[in-house]
Amino acid sequence: MSLRQIEFRVESGDWIRALPGVYRLATVPPTPEQSMRVCALWLDNGVLTGVGAAWWWELEADPPQRWEFQVTNATRRTIQDGVQVLRRWIDPADVTTYRGVPIVSKPLATLRAAVTLERGRRGHGVRLIDRSKQTKAVTEEELELAFRRNRGTWGTTAMRRLLERTGDSAHSNLERLGVKLLKEAGITGFAVNCWVRLATGRRLELDIAFKDRKIVIELDGFRYHSSAESRAIDLDRQNALIQDGWTVLRYGSDVLNDEPDRFIAEVLAVLCQV
């Protein structure tokens, strides 16, 4: 159509200009899907991400107030209401098309949306990951692979923390196993994922803690505690706790899975001493 034909339809009220170069029929009521597709058409080379991607994958019930599209190449687009253009790298394995819209993969959409939701209100990001796993929309392995493929990009530090916290009152499968073993052995008086404030004023979240006796059990899952960065963080935490007078017990998945009796025996030994 010529520019004049387009302008005629806009002037006559048949069309409404939604974004530069994108129009919608005036007789069609606006919807979240329409809004998102308008942004996708306007941007042309964007990939839907964030909460909007989770909503499009039907992982989230409510659409976002602003759509986020990720681009790997520079794009000359003016700032528009209701859409944010993010110039970030994305692993090609996490780019797909769903219902005609370029979008990040379902696992990466879950992680990206969880980071945004958690920043808005604590617990909402964890809830999204838990719900997505419970409904089998994504698996733990798929989330881990998406995290690893995009490690070092925006939000991956927060993603790792959310993955470690995913689950019930224990933040990981390993912590849930630790709690189960303690309860089966009749050991009580501990708190799971509790916050403490050290004498220095620093606040730390502890995996399993006997707070009144200043004993903490730190559980290290291989997947999220095997990098140099993670090890440095763990050592810093441990040193801070010891300096504050805490007794620190640290276990990996190999001990809890293969030597549960050893785990219980050592915990009991420390409880009897302190």
pLDDT score, position 162: 87
In a domain, 26, yes or no: no
In a domain, 15, yes or no: no
Our count of domains for the chain comes to: 2
Let me know whether 160 and 198 are in one domain: no
Of 171 and 130, more confident: 130
SS3 39: helix
What is the pTM assigned to this prediction?
0.60
Print the domain residue range for 206: 173-273
- DSSP helix, strand, coil percent of the chain (3-state; round to 5): 50, 20, 30
In a domain, 89, yes or no: yes
CATH at 266: 3.40.960.10
Let me know whether 43 and 161 are in one domain: yes
pLDDT digits (tens, 9 = 90+) for 28-41: 888 999 999 999 99
Pure H helices in the chain: 3-12, 32-43, 50-56, 106-120, 124-134, 140-149, 156-165, 173-184, 222-225, 228-243, 253-258, 260-273
pLDDT digits (tens, 9 = 90+) for 152-204: 888 888 998 888 777 544 446 778 889 999 999 999 999 987 889 999 998 88
Mean pLDDT over the full length of the chain? 88
> Which of 143, 165, 187 lies at the terminal end of a domain, its last residue?
165
Of 58 and 155, more confident: 58
> Which of 148, 165, 182 lies at the terminal end of a domain, its last residue?
165
Let me know whether 215 and 257 are in one domain: yes
> Which of 165, 192, 216 lies at the terminal end of a domain, its last residue?
165
pLDDT score, position 224: 47
Let me know whether 225 and 99 are in one domain: no
pLDDT score, position 194: 84
